[in-house]
A and B are shown apart, each in its own frame.
Chain A
Amino acid sequence: GQNIDQPTEMTATEGAIVQINCTYQTSGFNGLFWYQQHAGEAPTFLSYNVLDGLEEKGRFSSFLSRSKGYSYLLLKELQMKDSASYLCAVLDSNYQLIWGAGTKLIIKP
């Protein structure tokens, strides 16, 4: 079956750095997405990786290793507004998005 694993919850301090991991086992791979979702709101796009390596976009970076079925989202200089759930999703061979359960990130002052 298809499976995406990410931690349920993480806590970090304002101004610090946090890494949210995601491992996946899917039938085929056409890219991996990270989305941010604040409580009661729809997800918003953060990043897309299809090739191995690190993609940097401001305070957020996303890494992919296809051979390991592994990705991480790195958030730097954490701000209180970064408190949200972070969803990892993989586009499988049928171009269907397989969603992880999300990681709730709690930022403390």
Chain B
Amino acid sequence: GAVVSQHPSRVICKSGTSVKIECRSLDFQATTMFWYRQFPKQSLMLMATSNEGSKATYEQGVEKDKFLINHASLTLSTLTVTSAHPEDSSFYICSATGTSGYNEQFFGPGTRLTVL
């Protein structure tokens, strides 16, 4: 089946630093990748959609200068949280659309970010 990896799985950083999260599709080419954020006991919130080689499309209310997304290849997308603050602490999950006929999203295992 389609596998998506995410690295790191957990990160703790100081306020003001930047954190990069990688999302890779391991056995398929992902034309589209999605970045979600999930706060405790809440549902997934889509942050942005990215297609390989083009700029990401950000959801309303998501600061593109703070959450930098790069989708340089069909198997790799990165999310950089710049100048992180404690309110950015959350569970960040990426997903990728595979080749199935109904746009099923395959999810990475998620990254738990804690900003001190």
Contact = CB atoms under 8 A, between A and B. Distances in A.
The binding surface of chain B is classed by DSSP as: strand
Contact of A45 (B93, B104, B112): B104
A100 B45 CA distance: 10
Interface stretch (A10-18, A36-44, A69-77): A36-44
A40 B104 contact: no
Nearest to B105: A97
Contact of A102 (B34, B43, B93, B104): B43
Contacts, number: 45
Nearest to A48: B102
A83 B63 CA distance: 35
How big is the A interface, by class? 20 to 34
B26 interface: no
Given A40-B112, A42-B107, A102-B43, 20 more contacts: A30-B103, A31-B102, A31-B103, A40-B110, A41-B110, A42-B93, A43-B44, A43-B93, A44-B107, A45-B104, A45-B105, A48-B102, A48-B104, A87-B44, A96-B46, A97-B34, A97-B46, A99-B46, A101-B42, A101-B43
